[in-house]
Amino acid sequence: MIVIQEPRYSSLSTCSYIPERQWRFEYFFAVNLTELELNRLLERGWRKFGAYFFRPACEGCRECIPIRVRVSDFKPSRSQKRVLRKCSEVRVEFNPLRYRDEIYEIYRDHSLNRFGRVTDNEDFLSSFYTKSCPSVQSEYYINGKLAAIGFLDIASEGLSTVYFAYKTEVECYSPGTYSILKEIEYAAMQSREYYYLGYYIRRNSSMAYKNSFLPNEKYDWNLEKWEQDLD
Whole-number pLDDT of residue 161: 98
Do 90 and 9 sit in the same domain of this protein? no
The verdict on 78 and 174 lying in the same domain is: yes
Are 59 and 88 in a shared domain? Answer: no
Count up the domains in the chain and report the number: 2
Which of 89, 57, 87 minimizes the C-alpha distance to 221?
57
Q: Is residue 196 pLDDT above 90, yes or no?
A: yes
Range of the domain at 105: 67-229
Q: How far apart are the first and last CA of the chain?
A: 37
- If asked whether residues 28 and 107 sit together in one domain, one would say no
The half-sphere exposure of 189 on its side-chain side, counting CA atoms within 13 A, is 7
For residue 231, pLDDT over 80 is answered with no
Residue 101 shares a structural domain with residue 204:
yes
Q: CATH no. for residue 145?
A: 3.40.630.30
Residues 167 and 137 in one domain: yes
Same domain, yes or no: 179 and 160: yes
Query: So what's the pLDDT on residue 97?
Result: 97
Instruction: Based on the fold, state whether residues 57 and 164 are members of the same structural domain.
Output: no
Contact 223, 33 (CB under 8 A): no
pTM recorded for the entire structure: 0.95
For residues 144 and 90, membership in a common domain is answered with yes
Note whether 47 and 98 are same-domain residues.
Answer: no
Residues 184, 94: one domain? yes
Instruction: Tell which wins on pLDDT, 87 or 115.
Output: 87
Q: At residue 230, does pLDDT exceed 80? A: no
CA distance 160 to 66: 11
Does residue 71 share a domain with residue 12? no
Is the pLDDT at 221 greater than 80? The verdict is: yes
pLDDT computed for residue 145 by the predictor:
97
pLDDT digits (tens, 9 = 90+) for 103-150: 999 999 999 888 777 889 999 999 999 989 999 999 999 999 999 999
